């Protein structure tokens, strides 16, 4: 190992730590990565809120309907943030990797990977927020078609959610049904 | 401590790679959300054309979904049918 390169030396140094410490440290990094997904709902719901203010200012009589659609759409946009929060909380409080058998390096990397995967939540968050904003705008303009607008908005938001669900599946697989440990 | 084998390193990096691959989900999420927004706007403006508007929206959203599926496939390959350890 004298002429080992930087990565191997780094990993060898990592392996000098206690097994549990290494996995828990990686879980901390993974939990942080997961919460980056919060960018998405933040941007999206902010857009919806802006469109809500705009819709009410244009047609104050439809303020109730516009606000209702804004809150409905923003609630959907929130889901990705909640899913990321759940993964982070699992890594922190119900860590399934610490007690798992297998190579410590793979388990630690899986904790980081589970967090990284959830970053995908940015997309659904922004996209569903945009849909919520446009739904609010349309409702403000023509409140009598509120139900049609909300239906189209929900349908599109459901499609936008898919990649967030994929990311959640990969994250859960890495944590609870890790196939990589068995390959070693 | 258990020594690091090349196999362990590949598998560990595969776990991180699977997570990184799924970041691709950002794109379809934003794009389909934009389509959903424009769909809601269109239905609000022209409610009698709702069926046509929704059909076009879903068609476009299906195309936007592809790269997210690609990311998912790569992640699933890395996890369940890892070709890299076979090359070792």
Span A94-112, pLDDT tens digits: 999 989 888 899 999 999 9
CATH number at residue A131: 1.20.120.610
Is residue A162 one of the residues assigned to a domain? yes
pLDDT (average), residues B45-65: 90
Is residue A18 one of the residues assigned to a domain? no
State residue A3's pLDDT score.
63
pLDDT (average), residues A31-60: 92
Is residue A47 one of the residues assigned to a domain? yes
Q: What is chain B's mean pLDDT, rounded?
A: 88
CATH-assigned architecture of domain B33-81: Up-down Bundle (1.20)
Predicted confidence (pLDDT) per residue in A116-173, tens digit: 999 999 999 999 999 999 999 999 999 999 999 999 999 999 999 999 999 999 999 9
State residue A28's pLDDT score.
92
Is residue A92 one of the residues assigned to a domain? yes
* Model confidence at B88: pLDDT above 80: no
Name the closest residue on chain A to residue B86, using Cα atoms: A183
Structurally, how many domains does chain A consist of? Answer: 1
- pLDDT tier, A11 (very low <50, low <70, confident <90, very high otherwise): confident
pLDDT (average), residues B10-24: 90
Instruction: Find which of B5, B22, B45 to mutate to test the A interface (most A CBs within 10 Å of its CB).
Output: B22
For chains A and B, CB pairs below 8 A equal 244
pTM > 0.80: yes
Instruction: Find which of B10, B13, B36, B78 to mutate to test the A interface (most A CBs within 10 Å of its CB).
Output: B36
Is residue A3 one of the residues assigned to a domain? no
pLDDT (average), residues A78-97: 93
pLDDT (average), residues A27-43: 93
pLDDT (average), residues A72-76: 94
* B16 or A7, greater pLDDT: B16
Is residue A31 one of the residues assigned to a domain? yes
Is residue A6 one of the residues assigned to a domain? no
Q: For residues A34 and A24, what is the distance between their CA atoms, to the nearest angstrom? A: 15
* Model confidence at A70: pLDDT above 80: yes
State residue B1's pLDDT score.
56
Number of H helices, E strands in chain A: 8, 0
Range of the domain at A109: 26-179
Sign of CA dihedral B22, A89, A41, A155: positive
State residue A2's pLDDT score.
57
Name the closest residue on chain A to residue B22, using Cα atoms: A117
Q: For residues A149 and A139, what is the distance between their CA atoms, to the nearest angstrom? A: 7
Domain boundaries, chain B: 33-81
- State whether A179 and B28 contact (CB < 8 Å): no
Binding-face residues of B in 28-57 toward A, CB within 8 A? 28-45, 47, 50, 53-54, 57
Is residue A62 one of the residues assigned to a domain? yes
- State whether B85 and A183 contact (CB < 8 Å): yes
Question: Per-residue b/e over B12-41, b at no fewer than 16 CB within 10 Å?
Answer: bbbbbbbbbbbbbbbbbbbbbbbbbbbbbb
Q: For residues B17 and A113, what is the distance between their CA atoms, to the nearest angstrom? A: 7
- pLDDT tier, B86 (very low <50, low <70, confident <90, very high otherwise): confident
Percent pLDDT > 90 in chain A is: 79
- State whether A157 and B27 contact (CB < 8 Å): no
Q: For residues A46 and A54, what is the distance between their CA atoms, to the nearest angstrom? A: 12
CB A84 within 8 A of CB A34: yes
State residue A84's pLDDT score.
94
Cα dihedral value B23, B26, B29, B31, nearest 10: -140
Give how far Cα A163 sits from Cα of A69, B3, B32, B51, B63, Å. 24, 37, 10, 25, 13
């Amino acid at each position: 190992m004298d002429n080992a390169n930087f990565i191997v030396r780094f990993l060898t140094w990592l392996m000098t730590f206690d097994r549990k410490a290494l996995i828990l440290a990686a879980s901390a990094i993974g939990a942080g990565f997961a919460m980056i997904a919060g960018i998405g709902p933040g941007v999206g719901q902010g857009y919806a809120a802006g469109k809500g203010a705009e819709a009410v200012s244009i047609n104050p009589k439809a303020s109730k309907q516009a606000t209702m659609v804004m809150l409905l759409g923003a609630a959907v946009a929130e889901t990705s943030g909640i899913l990321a929060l759940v993964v982070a909380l699992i890594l922190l409080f119900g860590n399934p990797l610490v007690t798992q058998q297998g190579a410590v390096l793979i388990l630690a990397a899986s904790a980081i990977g589970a967090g990284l995967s959830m970053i995908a939540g940015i997309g659904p968050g922004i996209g569903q927020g945009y849909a919520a904003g446009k739904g609010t705008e349309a409702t403000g303009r023509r409140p009598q078609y509120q139900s049609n607008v909300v239906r189209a908005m929900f349908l599109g938001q459901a499609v936008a959610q898919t990649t967030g669900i994929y990311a959640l599946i990969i994250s859960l697989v890495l944590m609870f049904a890790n196939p990589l440990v068995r390959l070693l | 401590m258990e020594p690091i084998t090349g196999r362990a390193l590949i598998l560990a990096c595969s776990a991180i790679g699977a997570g990184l691959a799924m970041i691709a989900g950002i794109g379809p999420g934003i794009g389909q959300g934009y389509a959903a927004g424009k769909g809601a706007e269109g239905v609000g403006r022209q409610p009698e054309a709702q069926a046509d508007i929704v059909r076009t929206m879903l068609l476009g959203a299906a195309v936007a979904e592809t790269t997210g599926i690609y990311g998912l496939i790569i992640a699933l390959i890395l996890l369940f049918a890892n070709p890299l350890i076979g090359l070792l």
